[in-house]
Amino acid sequence: MSDEIPPDPGSPRARFGAEMRRLREAAQLSQSAVGRRLGCTQTQISRLESATRTPSKSDAERLDALFGTDGSTYFVDLREYIVARHGGPVWFMSWTKEVEPFAITMRSWDPLLVPGLLQIESYARHVLSYSARIAPDELEERVQARMQRREVLDKEDSPLFTALIDEGVLHRRVGSIEVMREQFDHLLEMAKRPTISIQVVDPQCIAGMSGAFMIAELPGGQPDTIHADSSVQGQVTTEYEFVVSVKSQYEAIRRWAYPEHMSLKMIEEARQGWT
């Protein structure tokens, strides 16, 4: 697949390229001259300015050093926003930046895939590779963004995380057989943590057919927040009626969940079945 996808002129990547070009021309530097300072080719600089290449962290840092004043981090900050966008759609940014890192409990339901927070890199790469019109460099950015999200489960004050997954997830091949085995090894390892609970849900559970969602409880009396997926547009909200509705749906699904010890045995049996 070619990564020469016409950029959205209002996107952060386009803003990055436009500002880079403006500063380069103001300094009367050629693309080749900037390339030498960044340690890349003239073609790569051209692609950055035309927003057909996602800037690396070192690109942004060197551009700030080259064009910035008084410790400016303009390009580094804008690149972080680009990476956040690649980590998911725009609506999802408020969840990954403002909710997930601060949650004290999280509950999720996934009818089709292993939850993003529990995905290994190869599983995530295969899932994300089927995103519409995704360029290779954007794919890698999104994979790494998803891997960075997992850090919320590794921190000292990690949230209590309960993941409900449909039994069909255990039998839906994503990538190679080796990927599936490694993914289930990871689930079994994560389930050993006292803050993480994984339960498999009977596939006859009709309540879960409407789609994936997460519920986050935040500290300090802040309202619970939910994010819900749909085939077109997801939603992040604290609106009371939506939160109550999703919580009720979660409880309806949980009633169809196998006990944790049985769930882990099912995951182990599924892992052995991928041979």
The full set of domains in the chain, from first to last, is 12-85 (1.10.260.40), 89-273 (3.30.870)
d(CA 35, CA 49): 12
Structure token digits, residue 275? 């041979």
d(CA 113, CA 145): 18
pLDDT at 55: 83
d(CA 262, CA 98): 35
Residues 6+ apart with CB under 8 A from 208: 109, 111, 164, 166, 201, 249, 253, 256
Q: What is the pLDDT along the chain (275 residues), one digit of tens a residue?
A: 334 445 556 677 788 899 999 999 999 999 999 999 888 889 889 989 988 777 877 888 899 999 886 778 888 888 877 765 544 555 566 788 789 999 999 999 999 999 999 999 999 999 998 876 677 777 887 888 889 889 999 999 999 999 999 999 999 999 999 999 999 999 999 999 999 999 999 999 999 888 999 999 999 989 999 998 765 556 889 999 999 999 999 999 999 999 999 999 999 999 999 88
d(CA 7, CA 250): 39
What pTM value is reported for the model? 0.71
pLDDT at 259: 97
